Amino acid sequence: MTIENIQEEIIDEFSMFEDWEERYQYMIDLGKDLPLIDAQYKTENNIIKGCQSKVWVHAEMKDDKVVFTADSDAIITKGIIAILIRAFSNQHPKDIIEANTDFIDKIGLKEHLSPTRANGLVSMIKQLKMYAIAYQTQLN
């Protein structure tokens, strides 16, 4: 599936919920299903700077695709990174770099986060794209 297809799927799923309480619960559930980062990667180097909570992200290349794993010490933040990983993991670095992140606005996520969590969301996206840039450079 392309990043765009996955993002459309996420938009469709969020549109099924009546209110933000249900959407938050869905995000928490997504966080619970997140493929967990291996304990050896829960280091200071893998913490996303700019997040109020601790969010660890690890990336590696498998068959020319970037595979992300993550964890967070906060349930909402864990749900947010789960959504981002679902959209961007197992994709070619070039596709991640060029990917649009409008789906975040379409599900209304940014406007329903506190300013510090919204900043953290931006930091998460930047970090995922930075990993993709690093791997794309290796491929060139």
Question: What confidence tens digit (pLDDT) does each residue in 68-103 have?
Answer: 999 999 999 999 999 999 999 999 999 999 999 999
Kindly report the pTM of this predicted structure: 0.94
Structure tokens at 27: 């995000």
In the prediction, which pLDDT does 61 show?
96
Q: Determine the Cα–Cα distance for residues 134 and 124; give it in Å rounded to an integer.
A: 16
Residue 134's pLDDT is: 96
- Residue 120: strand, helix, or coil: helix
Q: Report residue 114's pLDDT band, with 50, 70 and 90 as the boundaries.
A: confident
CB neighbours of 48 closer than 8 A, spacing ≥ 6? Answer: 55, 56, 57, 120, 123, 124, 127
Known catalytic residue: 3? no
State yes or no: pLDDT of 38 exceeds 90. yes
Cβ neighbourhood burial of 94 (10 Å; 0-12, 13-18, 19+): middle
Catalytic residue from among 6, 30, 51, 128? 51
